[in-house]
Structures are given as structure tokens and as C-alpha cells.
Structure 1
Amino acid sequence: MITVSITEKRFGDDRVLGPIAFEVAAGETVALVGPSGIGKSTLLRLVSGIDTDFTGQIHRPDAIAMVFQEPTLLPWRSALDNLTLLHPGLPRDRALAALDEVGLSGKDTLFPGQLSLGQQRRLALARAFAGQPDLLIMDEPFVSLDAAAADRMLTLTEALIARHQPATLFVTHDMAEATRLAHRTLTLETGPNGAQLAGTTKDRTT
């Protein structure tokens, strides 16, 4: 599904990513961990195609969805509009079903500012899965939530991934999250030529 072969990524004269190569199979969930500032989010931007300024090759599907650290919703649009505007042609009934799937039934007319942070995170998930992505990319999607809310979001995300079966690559600082969600965990560490993969840990079976 996804093949990543990066020779290097630079910001000016600084080489932030060195040689990095890995694959993510269809339906597989892979976690990416490492110390803050090492380049995990930069790597996600390359994989997603947001940043194309690098040396190497990345093969990815066309249908990609991203969930960021912050919900990145349209604050002046309703919950329903946040889905339908991103996915033109999405039928209203499917959009409402996507909201229901994440526990936001009956909140389609509310604006993001009228939702709790946890509900905003659920809306971001609904928006991502409404497009039926082949590749789901998540950048620390549970950060800043309290333990109980994070556990509920993990449970929801597990269920959505199991139901829709996208290839998933996500960054986390929490090894417990990686172990719970991922089939494999990739670790970035500082190398002589920028960040590189230190190794792979198998977390659970398919």
C-alpha cells in the first residue's frame, strides 16, 4: 500500500532525516515513535504529500485522510458542513451516518465551538473516515486529552480502523498507545546523517 524510501530531507543546510525506508501494508497500522523534535511530524508530511521537497521516493494511494494534533475544523461551519465541504458529493445520509459512527448523532447543526475538545476530536475522526481513505495518517491524535477521554478515543479509533481497514501510520509519544493500536512500531533516533529508523517492534498480530 505504502512504500517509503527517503534518502534525505533538509531544511536549508540542516539534514533532518537521513536514509529511511519502510512499508505499510493494506489494513496494517504502524506507529512512529521517537523523542520530541526528531522529525516524526516531518516524516508524516512527506508520506502524506504535503511536503514534496525531499530526496527519495514515496508511493502512496490517492485516497488519504489526515488527523492532526489539533482538530483543524472549520469553526464557522456546522459539524455536518465540516464533513460535506471536505468531501464534495458526500450524500447527507452518509455524512450523518459518519457522525453517528463517532457518537455525534444529533449534533450535526452544532458548530465546533459548541463541542467539547473530545467531541471535536470525534468530529475530526468522522471527517477522516467519511472519505473512505485507503491511507489514514494521524499525528498524535490523542494529545492533551485526559486519561479517560484518551481511552475513549483509543477505543473509538480501534473500532473505526477495524471497520474500515485503512493502512494507518500514526505518530505518538505514548508507547501504550502504540502497543494498543499498532501491529508494528517504528522508532526514530538521531543518526550521523539526520534521524533514521532505530528498529521495528511488533506490537500485536493482525
Structure 2
Amino acid sequence: MTHGSVFIGQPVTPVRPAGDGAAVQVNILAKHFGPTQVLRDVHFTVARGETVALVGPSGIGKSTVLRIVSGLDTRFDGHVQRPGTMAMVFQEPTLLPWRSARQNLTLIHDGLTEAQADAALDRVGLGGRGDAFPRALSLGQQRRLALARAFAGRPEMLIMDEPFVSLDPELAEQMLSLTEELITEARPATIFVTHARAEADRLASRVLDLRGTPATLSPHLI
């Protein structure tokens, strides 16, 4: 199901299962914005339970790679193979402001009961806040709600675009620890973008460095 730019459950394009034991296979030959080529020969795989971090300078094309991998951007040369269920976590929580915390889960995930939604909220430290609307939650609580929504559907693939940016150190540490725990429990194939190398080294089993013009992966890090 979709809302805005949040995709959970159903892919946005027809999907072929990834082969060779990989949950995700990315083969981007080229990506252009008008006459300008921004990506070339970006190839990598992500296994189930593996976390891959994508790093590089601002504006290099990291978020463009995520949009292609997720299926939000289909105008590129190449192909992506991905599993059938995925979740995305963005810099901003992108919640439904006119729905309760509980409804932010049940309206996205078909078949999720209120009891299951409450259990998911409790797992991220929002127990008893199911009836609260996003505006009544702090930024940290909204980020936790976004994580609960992402993991409630047990996604096979998780995409995160700088989910810890703009948080103070204490809150960032709390969110990192919670995300680590949820990834360990659900074991999705995870791809996330970060500017913080410490976050990449902590969460990821592999770090990919996007460099150059047009951008490609540093070969020694693939």
C-alpha cells in the first residue's frame, strides 16, 4: 500500500525475484537528468539480513540510487531485482497527520490488527500512545513511529535515507540502537544513505562509496 512517497507492501513496478542468493540486485548502467549523466555502472547486491551503507559527497546521487532501487524512479538504463515487500524510512517521518499513531500502522499494512499495531508501537517505546496524533508527539517519537510503521509489515527489503539526520547526539544514539535491534530481529536486506561514516561503520556490514562525475562506486569497496 502507498501513501505519498512511502511504499510498504506492494512494489511499484513488476518485480523479478533476485537470484544467486541475493535479495536485491542493482545494475544501473546509466542515469541521466536531461542531457547530464549523473550515474554510471552502479552495480551491487544485498543479501537477506545484510545491511549496506551508501556514502559519498552531498549531491553525488545517493538518494537517486535509492529512488531507483525502490522503484520510485524507473527512468534509467539497467535493471533492479528486488523482493516483493519493502519499507522506506526518510529524513522526515512522513506520517499521516490526521490519523492516530495506531492508524498510521493499520492503514498502511493490510490485515494488521489494532492489537498487533499496539505491540509494534510498544516495541519502539510508544506503548500507550496509539490514540495520539503525530502533532502531539515529539520529533523523536515521530521518528520511532516511522520505524514502527516500516517494520510492522516485516519487510524483506528496507531502504533508509538519512534517517538520523538533524537529531541531537542523545536522540541519534537512541534511534541507532533501536534500528539495530529491529534490523537484527526482522533481517531485511537493508540499504541506507548516510553522511556520517560512524553510522555507516556501526550499522552496515558493507560500505559503498559513490564518487566521480558521473558517479560510480569505488571499485575497492564493492
Q: TM-score range by the shorter chain?
A: over 0.9
Distance 1:119 1:196, change over 3 A: same
Q: Normalization by structure 1: what TM-score?
A: 0.95
Deviations 1:101-141 (Å, cap 9, x if unpaired)? 10000000001111010100000000000011000000000
Q: Which runs of 5+ in 2 are unaligned?
A: 1-22
Could you say if the C-alpha distance between residues 107 and 200 of structure 1 is closer, same or farther in structure 2, counting changes exceeding 3 Å?
farther
Q: Please state how far the C-alpha of 1:91 moved relative to its aligned partner.
A: 1.2
Contact 1:9 1:16 in 2 (8 A): yes
Q: Does 1:128 align with 2:133?
A: no
Corresponding residue number in structure 2 for 1:181: 203
AA paired with 1:174?
A
Query: Which residue of 2 is the match for residue 70 of structure 1?
Result: 92
**Residue type of the alignment partner of 1:29:** T
The answer to whether the Cα contact below 8 Å between 1:185 and 1:200 also exists between their aligned partners in 2 is no
> Contact between 1:187 and 1:200, CA under 8 Å: does it hold in 2?
no
Cα drift, residue 200 of structure 1: 5.4
Of residues 47, 50, 59, the one that matches 1:25 is 47
Deviations 1:8-52 (A, max 9, x none): 011111111111100001100000000000100010000001111
Name the amino acid aligned to 1:7: L
State the match for 2:3 in structure 1. none
1:109 corresponds to 2:119: no
Q: Separation in 2 of the partners of 1:50 and 1:85?
A: 21
Counterpart amino acid of residue 68 in structure 1: F
User: For 1:170 and 1:148, how far apart are their aligned partners in 2?
Assistant: 21
Deviation at 1:199?
4.0
Q: Distance in 2 between matches of 1:138 and 1:45?
A: 11
Report the counterpart of residue 20 of structure 2 in structure 1: none
The one-letter code of the counterpart of 1:87 is H
**Separation of aligned partners in 1, 2:100 and 2:50:** 33
| 2:193 maps to 1:171 | yes
Equivalent residue runs for 1:5-84 within 5 Å: 5-84=27-106
Q: Could you tell me which residue of structure 2 aligns to residue 94 of structure 1?
A: 116
2:216 maps to 196
Report if aligned partners of 1:184, 1:200 keep a CA contact under 8 Å in 2: no
| Count of aligned residue pairs for this structure pair | 200
Task: Quote the Cα distance in structure 2 between the aligned partners of 1:111 and 1:120.
Answer: 10
Equivalent pairs: percent with the same residue? Answer: 62
- Structure 1 counterpart of 2:177: 155
TM-score with structure 2 setting the length: 0.88
Gaps of at least 5 residues in structure 1 are none
Cα distance, 1:159 vs structure 2: 0.4
Which secondary structure state, in structure 2, belongs to the residue aligned with residue 17 of structure 1? Answer: strand
Residue in 1 that maps onto 2:25: 3
